[in-house]
Structure 1
Amino acid sequence: MSDRFVTHDTFTIERFYAAPPEKVFAAWSNPTSKARWFSKPEQFEFRVGGRESNRGGPPGGPVFTYLAEYQDIVPDRRIVYTYTLDAGDTRISVSMTTVELEAEGSGTRLVFTEQGAFLDGHDTPDQREHGTAIMLDKLGEILESNDPA
Structure 2
Amino acid sequence: MTDRTPTDHTSTDHTVTHATFTIERAYAASPARVFAAWSDPAAKASWFAGPEPAHELDFRVGGREVNRGRQPDGTLMTFESVYHDIVADVRVVYGSTLHAGETLMTASLTTVEFEPDGEGTRLVLTEQGSFLDGQEKPEWREQGTGAWLGALGEYLTRTGAPTR
TM-score bucket (shorter structure) = over 0.9
What is the CA deviation profile of residues 24-72 of structure 1, one whole-angstrom value per residue up to 9, with x for unaligned ones?
0001100100011111554321110111112112343321011110000
Q: In 2, are the aligned partners of 1:19 and 1:144 still within 8 Å (CA)?
A: no
Moved over 4 A (4+): none
* Alpha-carbon distance in 1 for matches of 2:159, 2:141: 29
Uncovered stretches (5+) of structure 2, i.e. residues with no partner? 1-10
1:22 is matched with: 32
Amino acid at match of 1:137: G
What is the TM-score of this pair, normalised by structure 1?
Answer: 0.94
Amino acid at match of 1:13: I
Residue in structure 1 matching 2:23, options 8, 13, 18: 13
SS of corresponding position for 2:48: coil
What is the TM-score of this pair, normalised by structure 2?
Answer: 0.85
Q: In 2, are the aligned partners of 1:15 and 1:110 still within 8 Å (CA)?
A: yes
Uncovered stretches (5+) of structure 1, i.e. residues with no partner? none
Instruction: Report % sequence identity.
Output: 55
* Alpha-carbon distance in 2 for matches of 1:118, 1:57: 20
Max Rg structure = 2
> Is 1:33–2:43 an aligned residue pair?
yes
Q: In 2, are the aligned partners of 1:31 and 1:41 still within 8 Å (CA)?
A: no
2:138 is matched with: 125
* Alpha-carbon distance in 1 for matches of 2:104, 2:160: 37
SS of corresponding position for 1:109: strand
Q: In 2, are the aligned partners of 1:17 and 1:144 still within 8 Å (CA)?
A: no
> Is 1:78–2:91 an aligned residue pair?
yes
Amino acid at match of 1:115: Q
1:64 is matched with: 77
